[in-house]
Amino acid sequence: MYVINKNIPRPHPDLVRKIRSFDTPVLSDAMGRYGAMSHEVKPVSRDFRMAGPAYTVRSYVKDNLMVHYALDNAMPGDILVVDSGGYTDGALWGELASIMARKRGLGGIVLDGGARDTGKIMEIGFPVFSRSVTPAGTLKDSPGSINVPVQCGGLAVKPGDIVVGDADGVVVIPLDDAGTVLEKAGRIIKKEKEVMERMARGETLFEILGLGRFFDGDSAFIKRQ
């Protein structure tokens, strides 16, 4: 059964703006080193950066009809998250879609599949993250679903979850956890600044992290000869 849900929960823009200020590694650490998509999902350009609510798409394999529906119906700032079953030998997105998405004010797209026209996409400047790049196109005649839970890059994504992408990849923050993740990310940045200050004063990272405990005394798991 195919479903189109038009109304989805969305995070407050101020929350998205604050989360956008953090890099994806920090956000993943704030979620207990979870929440990162597969390393196979990469930005077309390392300069691309995005953050916004997930507008989810479940498309038929090698068909982007529902991607075009999402492109025409998503709200400004939304991030399209496309579950195409992990099929990587067809491009669901390219130059023309990027131009239209930029015109409509969308925040970006994550494809569990392919993209093409990457040179043009970089010129347009619309953030595209995909599992593959291929010149092969797709069809436009099969049904799918809009704004239902999907799988993308090895993660479960619900409509309205906060999607963040940068040069390191893509992180998805469950909407209900966003406030807690934001707070923890702030603490991580504060701790990292303190570590940098201690290194600047001459301490080693090994010392600061207390890693000697694994090598000295009764707790050592490596015995010195």
Under DSSP, the state recorded for 21 is T
pLDDT in tens, 121-132: 999 999 999 999
pLDDT in tens, 178-188: 999 999 999 99
Backbone angles phi, psi at 81, to 5 degrees: -120, 115
Tell me, what's the pLDDT at 204?
Answer: 97
Here the tokens at position 52 are 């916004």
Tell me, what's the pLDDT at 132?
Answer: 97
Here the tokens at position 102 are 């930029």
- Give SS3 for 79: strand
Nearest-angstrom CA–CA distance, 59 and 144? 5
What domains can you pick out in the chain, each with its CATH number?
13-175 (3.50.30.40)
The residue with tokens 């469950």 is: 174
Choose between 218 and 53: higher pLDDT. 53
How high does pLDDT run on average in the chain?
95
pLDDT in tens, 74-92: 999 999 999 999 899 999 9
Beta strands (DSSP E) in 86-215 are: 91-93, 108-115, 128-133, 145-146, 150-152, 155-157, 162-166, 169-173
Length of the chain: 225
The closest alpha carbon to 126, from 112, 114, 115, belongs to 115
The residue with tokens 């604050």 is: 18
CB 80 within 8 A of CB 51: no
Tell me, what's the pLDDT at 220?
Answer: 63
Q: What is the pTM of this model?
A: 0.94
Cα angle 133, 137, 140; round to 5: 130
Structure confidence at residue 218 as a pLDDT band (50, 70, 90): low
Tell me, what's the pLDDT at 182?
Answer: 98
* pLDDT at residue 224 greater than cutoff 90: no
Question: Please, which residues bridge with residue 79 across strands?
Answer: 54, 108
* pLDDT at residue 221 greater than cutoff 80: no
Q: Which residues, in sequence order, are CB contacts of 102 under 8 Å at separation 6+?
A: 124, 125, 126
CB 43 within 8 A of CB 126: no
pLDDT in tens, 159-195: 999 999 999 999 999 999 999 999 999 999 999 999 9
Here the tokens at position 3 are 């479903």
Percent of the chain at pLDDT above 70?
A: 96
Tell me, what's the pLDDT at 213?
Answer: 82
* pLDDT at residue 111 greater than cutoff 70: yes
